Amino acid sequence: MDKQMRSRLEALLETVQKPSRYTGGEVNEIKKDWAGRTSFCFAFPDTYEVAMSHLGLKVLYESINAQDDLLCERVMMPWVDMMAGLMEQGIPLYSLESRKALSDFDMVGFTLQYEMSYTNILKMMELGGIALNNKDRDEGAPFVVAGGPCAFNPEPLSPFIDAFLLGDGENATNEMLRVIAAGRKAGKKRADILRDLAQVEGVYLPDLYEAAYHEDGRLAAFRPLDQTAPLPITKRIERNLDEAPFPTSIPVPYTQAVHDRIVLEIMRGCTRGCRFCQAGMLYRPVRERSPEQLFALAEQLVAATGYEEMSLSSLSTGDYSQLLELIRGLNQRFADQRVSLSLPSLRIDNQLQEALGETAEVKKSGLTLAPEAGTQRLRDVINKGVTEEDLLRTVSEAFASGWSSVKLYFMIGLPYETDEDLLGIADLARKVVAAYYAVPKGQRARGLKVVVSASTFVPKPMTPFQWAAQDTLEEIRRKQSLLRSALNIKGVTFNWHDPETSFLEACFARGDRRLARVLYRAYELGCLLDGWNEHFKFDAWMQAFADTGMDPAFYANRERAREELMPWDLADIGVSKNYLWRENERARKAEVTPDCRHGCEGCGLTRFEGVCT
């Protein structure tokens, strides 16, 4: 960025909300000399506050910058005022560290955490000077890559992204950067470097494949166009987390992030087998970090950041095999510094009483539990593996230990759900309130607050419910109305999610590459920041479907047959399609599948040597 442009930028920053989103310069920022290094920009397609809460950004930021031949900088989606200012002033979207335009980098990598961020990706590329269509990029353009959970169905973004990384990215990202560096040093053409990238395990290049469709719109065939292109693409797995990179020093934002604290990833993967949960299938197998390494990481992070809260992060923190040892050790190390521990994703059926007692030694915070369904029958359908007795015992123990705030997460629109299941949510909430008042008045904390949140079920790829139809918008609204009436209970607050957003999420979660036309048309119609209610334009999205001749109900509200070829069948996540179908059939009968830590259930991961123990 030249001196004149910097001057215009400084003037612009004086006019926007939260200019600290765009300045960089935070404590622990890493700024490296570009000379002789291959450059990577981690692009987060949402605002700074959301991005700086994302653990994956922090992991790649430090692990890439630890390599002498590589560098990593950051960029986030600007807010509407900054967006308008950049366009008006002719300033390209730039990285926080060196204020380089996105087009200056060797590789720009987007994380795909949420389907409703896809239009933001297009805007960030346009603002950063990168051609939206991958076929329009010249030889010197950055290689645009994407990873994260939504990358396991990459097809709706296929014309815009050069390469997708499926699976763990800690070491794979470095490999991709070095392939690009070697190719450019050797004077290779862009197309040849892309073919080289396709040989990196876990990398999918959409331009090396073609799709064909039946007359009714279903996918008929998917095949490689290049004999060197693998099919399926096997996901990357970091097999030993103690050996995988993890940050010991993270940038500390000047403005508050959504989750403004240390996040300590204690394990990866989950074996519980909840049938709605995509992450539980994608991130198998379970891998744990040792307490010794976690103690060392925690000490370094507290020293480097000064944070007073630490979250023990995983898909199911209560299943960490040495949880109590870990909590006790962390409390011993940090209690005198008033560093509190939060335990998200705790299941309500194991170790919880002791864990709650241990964390209460530092500071009490709200308790979050996820029964997911209001009746035991439906919890068995989704294989949640907890009972009403588990929940009530847990909240009773928490209330007796001084807790007064409880959040309960549910889903509506689950397969095989009835109105009786919905009314069971209200019945459960009443029993939680009663458990609070069952504690003698002098022994319970004041200010009961029970928050019941109900999200709309979205059938996700790579789950046993990937074949299921999502409820129609009309049916979801009816169910929400029923719950609003039933949850008119003193001490209970009911929150629900916008069903239109969930409808579009289902479309793109299960979409094929034809939905790229819808995405681009929605972008032309001004759809941006769709994850923010005030900017969500459902009517414009529906117009985009109509303008491109696509039917959203085909993707969201249609039940699929077992034999149907899915757009995401291009990926091998380790868990087999046969296993997912078997789980779908068990759901239909409300049959429970045990946690595979107690015995192999045949999900398919044993094909990978050394990943299941």
Pair 46, 171 in one domain? yes
Give domain status of residue 300, yes or no. Answer: yes
Give domain status of residue 568, yes or no. Answer: no
Cα separations in angstroms, 388 against 381, 487, 577, 609: 15, 18, 31, 39
Residue 369 is classified by DSSP as E
The predicted pLDDT at position 362 comes to: 44
Pair 229, 266 in one domain? no
The predicted pLDDT at position 354 comes to: 61
Pair 185, 269 in one domain? no
| pLDDT lower than 50: segments of the chain | 348-350, 362-363
| Boundary residue ending a domain (234, 254, 273) | 234
Pair 312, 174 in one domain? no
Pair 300, 439 in one domain? yes
Pair 213, 267 in one domain? no
Pair 177, 292 in one domain? no
CATH code assigned at 137: 3.40.50.2300
Q: What is the chain's Cα-based Rg?
A: 24
| Boundary residue ending a domain (234, 251, 273) | 234
Pair 151, 276 in one domain? no
Give domain status of residue 51, yes or no. Answer: yes
Give domain status of residue 509, yes or no. Answer: no
CATH code assigned at 297: 3.80.30.20
Give domain status of residue 535, yes or no. Answer: no
| Domain around 304 | 262-497+574-598
Pair 113, 199 in one domain? yes
Q: What are the strands of the beta sheet with 367-372, ordered from one edge? A: 367-372, 405-412, 449-456, 492-496
Pair 284, 371 in one domain? yes
How many domains in the chain?
A: 2
Pair 272, 358 in one domain? yes
> 376: part of which helix (H) or strand (E)?
helix 376-381
Give domain status of residue 77, yes or no. Answer: yes
Give domain status of residue 606, yes or no. Answer: no
Give domain status of residue 254, yes or no. Answer: no
Return phi, psi of residue 297, to 5°.
Answer: -60, -45
- In this structure, which amino acid lies at residue 586? R
The predicted pLDDT at position 349 comes to: 46
Pair 226, 309 in one domain? no
